Amino acid sequence: SIGEFIMVDRDVKMKKKGNIYSLNEGYAKDFDPAINEYL
């Protein structure tokens, strides 16, 4: 891992609802408030 994100598509979107929840909650304190509200 190089510790960076590389944009491969400018039109990335998330579905409003899905079947899978996956993220590193260890970084939740650093998330944008809108992301925490969504989660």
pTM score above 0.75: no
Contact call for residues 28 and 36 (beta carbons, < 8 A): yes
Could you tell me which of 35, 18, 16, 15 has the C-alpha nearest to residue 27?
35
Could you give the angle at the alpha carbon of 25 between the alpha carbons of 20 and 21, nearest 5°?
5
For 6-33, what is the mean pLDDT?
87
- Whole-number average pLDDT of the chain: 86
The band of 31, judged by pLDDT with boundaries at 50, 70 and 90, is: very high
Q: Which residues are CB-neighbours of 36 under 8 A, at least 6 positions away?
A: 28
